[in-house]
Structure 1
Amino acid sequence: MTRDSQTQAKPMTAANATLGAQLHAVQSSAHGITLDITASSDTWPLSATINWGDGKSTPVSVASTAKVTQTHVYDRLGAYTISVTLTDGSGNTATGSLNLPTAGNAYTAYGPTRLLDTRDGTGAPRAKVPAYGTAKIKIAGNGSIPAGVTAVVLNVTVTNPTTEGHVTVYGDGDTMPTTSNLNYVPGQTVPNLVIAPVGANGYVDLYNGGWGSVDLIADVTGYFTQSQASGYTPVDPKRLLDTRNRNTVAAYGTVPVTIPTNPQVPDTTFTAVALNVTVTNPGSDGHLTVYPSGQSLPTASNVNFTAGHTVANSVIVPVGADGRIQIQNGAWKPSDVIVDVVGYYTANSKSAYIPENPYRVLDTRKNGVPLYEYNATYGGYDYAPIDFALGDPNVTGVVLNATVTNTHGDGHLSVSPDPNTRAAYEGKYATMPPVPDSSSLNWTAGQTVPNMVQANTGSTGLVDFWNVAYSKTDLIVDEFGFYSKN
């Protein structure tokens, strides 16, 4: 499925001025290129050789001025020089070339490292971001983050807001999307993970969409480039830790979490893991910091919470050399911590990230059909299945922002792949999927809560959003990009 493409064209030259061609290339998938050759000549047919720039070539016969189309899939991401040599029956030749990067983006673990904190002047002036103002973060060239970075993984936190509002993160110089990444109310501290495109100048903008000032914090945990690094493998959500079944995490204490190498995470070469981390039963206000084992505690934070509240946040974190991560409870009283793994990054995976212009997939406030409360007669909890692959078998996962609002009671949202096909729902013979035992975000009555979700599209391309609650809620889903293995 091509959702983002790029084209280049370059005329050929030859000793015989009538022999030549126009070349036109399009990024057709994460690893794929489609090349069009439109030739001109006094005599036909012509023979052509396409050198794809990766040591592979394709011979082609050109019978007329009609366009000839060829496709190629690269084993590795990167920028390639594609050259074409035309030869007529008299031995005259013409050559031409063009350069084009593959569309896919691979992940490199980094940090966690704080890039922005308007409270103390890190990365920006020491001042709150004003109403409808913007804070800019330098990404490319910051520390060891290279030039040419296309997207960045940030944990963005808003704190000290004086009014309600939202924050939108996007590439500097790009058009600001109409979607948001996190929402806040006065006095609230809210974190959310963001995979944001980086502007052509290497910067990212954080827009304060509220009519009062806020402090903004941003911690980087990785970045994407159009070159070979780590690809993503989604998994069915799997619980790795639940301290409610053991000892709580002590005040300012740390709990190690081993990333298991089993059928759930079978590749031992992973460089980072995608998690959903939840704090519950906290005895005081505080925060959680998730970081690689063997590294000193960073200043970054991943989950911020207040006493007695349950809060979840997505986390992408590098894994230590011993296959473990650490979670520190930055509070002066104990807290329970829950960790679910949703995917991992490894050099062995070809599934690459393709960012999109963010767009709204679902808003139940507009269609008038919220996710309803638990109903034993109906069959349990309500859910919304959404088809994200749209028939493309190469799509392995999707990057979303899920937001619940108009909440009437406590609950949580679970997200999981649906075993049913779209045809099964349209034909009304779909079976009820099992309710997952993991959660993607948690809320209490009256809250509006967002969270980034890296959803596994499974074997059918459908993803379920479960309202695990005894009261109805509205759901908003925005798509920011997807992973593709071709």
Structure 2
Amino acid sequence: MLSLIGFRPLAVLVAAVAVVSTVSVIAPQTAAAAPVPAAPAFGSIIDPYSEYQSESSCDPTDKPGPLALRDLLVDTYGPATVYISRTCSSGGSSGHYQGRAMDWMQDINDPTDRDEVETFLDWLLATDQYGNRNAMLRRMGIMYLIWNREIWEAYDSTPSWQPYSGSSPHTDHVHISFGWDGAYKRTTYWNPSASYPAVPLCPAPPVQPAPPAVNYGSGLGYVPVTPTRLLDTRRSGAGVPARCRVAAGGRLDIKVAGVAGVPASGVGAVVVNLTGVSPDTATWLGAYPAGTTWPGNSSVSIVRSAISATLVVVPVGSNGMISLRNGGGRTDALVDIVGYHPLSAGTLYTSTTPRRALDTRAAGGRFAGRETRTVALGQAPANATGVIVNLASVDPSASGYVTVSAGGSGATGGTSALNMTLGRVVSNRAYVALGANATLDIHTSAASDVLVDVVGWFGPTGSRFMPLTPTRSFDSRNDIGGLVRFTGGAAQELDLLAAGVPAAATSVVMTLTTTQVSTSTYVTAWPHARPRPPTSDLNVVPNADTSNLVVSELGAGSLDVVIGHGRADLVGDVVGYFR
């Protein structure tokens, strides 16, 4: 793909000919650490990740961005061989044909070359002082990198190094492809004044009227949709008019009815995956019906500079919208819709004792990076059309994402069900349609072990959903719901009847959040007075509030909850129930 045939080399070899023809043998010395490039001072405004832009046309003229990066490499590391344009007769497609890709010739087997490349790549992908991930790569408008049999794609939903199997292993050069803005230096690295002041805050939406009263009757069924991104504050036009960040205490309204396969009317509630991205400080996002007062709930908790997602179920408010409230530092937010509860029709829900359908640590082996695997769920009956599962990633090789879809769908990107974090076990609920023979397709962007616990399924018979305005029902910090601070191994009862869930309810739907955790541990919730299952609902660490949606069968109107060890506080917001 990147052979040197047809390239026009840029002669940046500044050493004298006499030096080239002279070979000296000297004793090896410990190499000094490679330097990093000089960079201007930036404000906190940063470019979005470059989208993939086709490399199929031809204009073999070296563009300003690659030329400027070539000069920066020479200034930093000394004489270098760099190739940019390739003649259009070379065959195939490549950014080299458009003058917006470059090859920096460095040999992975040469310790100095390798140190320089890896120092440079670490610099490109580092988080800056504002919490912006992969800051220099974004500021330069770089679209993707290839080095040593791995590729890093800025247009991936959760970018990370992934295996690369192209014809060249890229062990003798680094390939760097630019988006068009990067190619023409229309980015903040070359225009640092554009990075001041801070990223604009998302404009406050107009006040919505109070939503009309809705009669849910005997309850609601469920209809899945193809997962679709409705909001991405990092991109203009993706639910916001222009790139912005949600202000501390700010609100956004998101249209959820009449879009992405959801009817414009007759919808009682929606099921969405809510993600917070790189907040300035630790924060949380709460989802609730548009046109109502924020009820005091939180749906997903995010630590500074991290990416965290939680599935939420939200009643539809005014004008077919839901609202998001940001509790703390400025943050980006994503909303992916996965299904809805119509006022009539839809499938019904049957809960079950949580059962582990997949544990790659015990059977099947770890997922490789970018592997898709079809998993059969023997727990679901033949007439089941969808399932509710708890997903967990364990010991991923890099931060990334997991997608889950109906077996045979082949869906591997666009939205994610779980955001993996290097060094953490992360879990999230997912509502997923089933494929033939009760199967799911699971795809991981990076190598990881994966756990799947089935907690129930949708089909022609079962219980109907009754949405509630999110209500804070439990908080061990404030003696709400009769809870006290949890101690490892000591279960406490969550009395859902006292929290307003009727006795006819068979299962509860609630957001559980841990805070002030003393040590890495897990949380398990199960029906009161029944045997504790060998599964978990949250995987938590110190110094990071963690949330997950819990859908659990009730025992005598209550749940039992335990943490594995250590101490922690627990907060619970009830969002609905099945009956």
Same fold (TM over 0.5): yes
Which of 507, 515, 518 aligns to 1:397? It is 507
Structure 1 distance, partners of 2:282, 2:215, is 44
Residues 270-285 of structure 1 aligned to structure 2 (within 5 Å): 270-285=384-399
Mapped partners of 1:270, 1:258: distance in 2: 13
For structure 1, the 5+ residue unaligned runs are 1-98, 374-380, 420-432
Greater C-alpha radius of gyration: 2
- For the residue of structure 2 that corresponds to 1:156, the secondary structure is strand
- Work out which of the residue numbers 509, 531, 537 in structure 2 matches 1:440: 537
Q: Secondary structure at the match of 1:245?
A: coil
Distance in 1 between the 2:506 and 2:323 partners? 29
Deviations, residues 446-476 of structure 1 (Å, cap 9, x unaligned): 3211111011114x2221111112x111111
CA contact (8 A) 1:290 1:326 kept: yes
Q: Which amino acid aligns with 2:470?
A: P
Residue 449 of structure 1 corresponds to which residue in structure 2?
546
In structure 1, the residue matched to 2:222 is: 107
Q: Aligned equivalents of 2:465 and 2:418: distance in 1? A: 25
Contact 2:434 2:440 in 1 (8 A): yes
Quote the Cα distance in structure 2 between the aligned partners of 1:409 and 1:101. Answer: 42
- In the alignment, is residue 354 of structure 1 matched against residue 450 of structure 2? no
- Measured after TM superposition, the shift of residue 290 of structure 1 is 1.1
Contact kept, 8 Å, 2:303 with 2:544, in 1: the verdict is no
Please, what is the CA RMSD of the aligned residues?
A: 1.9
1:158 and 1:343 map into 2 onto residues whose CA distance is: 27
Q: Does 1:124 align with 2:124?
A: no
Q: Does 1:382 align with 2:490?
A: yes
Equivalent of residue 363 in structure 1, options 465, 470, 475: 475
Q: Distance in 2 between matches of 1:453 and 1:362?
A: 14
Q: Distance in 2 between matches of 1:361 and 1:221?
A: 26
Is 1:314 equivalent to 2:429 in the alignment?
yes
Give the AA of the match of 2:576.
G
Q: Deviations over 1:121-145 (max 9, x none)?
A: 3222332222222222211110321
Q: CA deviation at 1:392?
A: 5.2
Alignment CA distance shift 1:476-1:240 (3 Å): same
Counterpart of 1:195 in structure 2 is 313
Q: Would you say the 8 A contact 2:410–2:441 is kept in 1?
A: no
Name the residue aligned to 2:415: 300
Residues of 1 paired with 2:220 and 2:532: CA distance?
32
Deviation, 1:200, is 3.2
Aligned-partner SS, 2:478:
helix
- Secondary structure at the aligned position of 1:400 is classed as strand
Q: List runs of 5+ in structure 2 lacking aligned partners.
A: 1-213
Contact kept, 8 Å, 1:389 with 1:457, in 2: the verdict is no
Shift in Å at residue 386 of structure 1?
1.9
SS for the counterpart of 1:476 is strand
Task: State the Cα deviation string for residues 174-194 of structure 1 (Å, max 9, x = none).
Answer: 221111111222101110000
Query: Does 2:527 match 1:413?
Result: no
Distance 1:164 1:253, change over 3 A: same
Pick closer, same or farther for the CA change 1:202–1:279 going to 2, 3 Å. same
Structure 1: distance between partners of 2:513 and 2:426? 13
Q: Secondary structure at the match of 1:284?
A: coil
- Within a 5 Å distance, the mapping from 1:87-102 to structure 2 comes to 102=217
Distance 1:130 1:100, change over 3 A: closer
The separation in 2 between residues aligned to 1:438 and 1:329, in whole angstroms, is: 21
Match of 2:571 in 1: 476
Distance 1:249 1:139 in 2: 34
- Asked whether the 8 Å contact 1:435–1:466 carries over to 2, the reply is no
Question: Secondary structure, in 3 states, of the residue corresponding to 2:222?
Answer: strand
1:392 and 1:164 map into 2 onto residues whose CA distance is 35
Please, which of 446, 452, 456 is the counterpart of residue 343 of structure 1?
A: 456
Aligned equivalents of 2:215 and 2:260: distance in 1?
28
Residue 250 of structure 1 and its aligned partner are, at CA, apart by: 0.3
In the alignment, residue 398 of structure 2 is paired with which amino acid?
S
Q: Could you tell which deviates more after superposition, 278-287 or 141-150?
A: 141-150
Instruction: Measure the CA separation in 1 of the matches of 2:559 and 2:215.
Output: 33
Percentage identity across paired residues of the two chains: 34
Instruction: Give the deviation of 1:413 after TM superposition.
Output: 0.4
1:104/1:434 CA distance change after superposition, 3 Å: closer
1:14-67 CA distances to partner (integer Å, 9 max, x unpaired)?
Answer: xxxxxxxxxxxxxxxxxxxxxxxxxxxxxxxxxxxxxxxxxxxxxxxxxxxxxx
Would you say 1:242 and 2:359 are equivalent positions?
yes
Q: Aligned residue for 2:149?
A: none
Once the two structures are TM-superposed, the CA of residue 257 in structure 1 deviates from its matched residue by 1.7
Count of matched residue positions in the alignment of Structure 1 and Structure 2: 356
SS in 2 for 1:244: coil
Q: 2:345 aligns to what SS in structure 1?
A: coil
- Residue 442 of structure 1 aligns with an amino acid whose one-letter code is N
- Does the aligned pair in 1 maintain the 2:314–2:469 contact within 8 Å? no
Larger fraction in helix = 2
Contact 1:157 1:218 (C-alpha < 8 Å) held by counterparts: yes
Output one character per residue of 1:286-326: Cα deviation in whole Å (capped at 9) or x when no partner.
11111112223241111112212110111111111342111
| CA distance in 2: counterparts of 1:457 and 1:322, whole angstroms | 29
Q: Which amino acid aligns with 2:318?
A: A
* 1:478 to partner: Cα distance: 1.3
Q: Distance in 1 between matches of 2:215 and 2:400?
A: 47
Match of 2:153 in 1: none
Aligned residues of 1:409 and 1:446 also touching (Cα < 8 A):
no
Q: CA deviation at 1:101?
A: 6.1
- Aligned partners of 1:446 and 1:129: how far apart in 2? 23
- CA change 1:387–1:406 in 2 (3 A) is same
- Find the counterpart in structure 1 of residue 281 from structure 2: 163
3-state SS of 1:446 partner:
coil
Assess, with a 3 A threshold, how the Cα gap between structure 1 residues 203 and 409 changes in structure 2: closer, same or farther. same
Instruction: Indicate conservation of the 8 Å contact 1:413/1:466, yes or no.
Output: yes
Runs of 4+ off more than 4 Å: 389-393
Would you say the 8 A contact 1:154–1:220 is kept in 2? yes
- The one-letter code of the counterpart of 2:386 is A
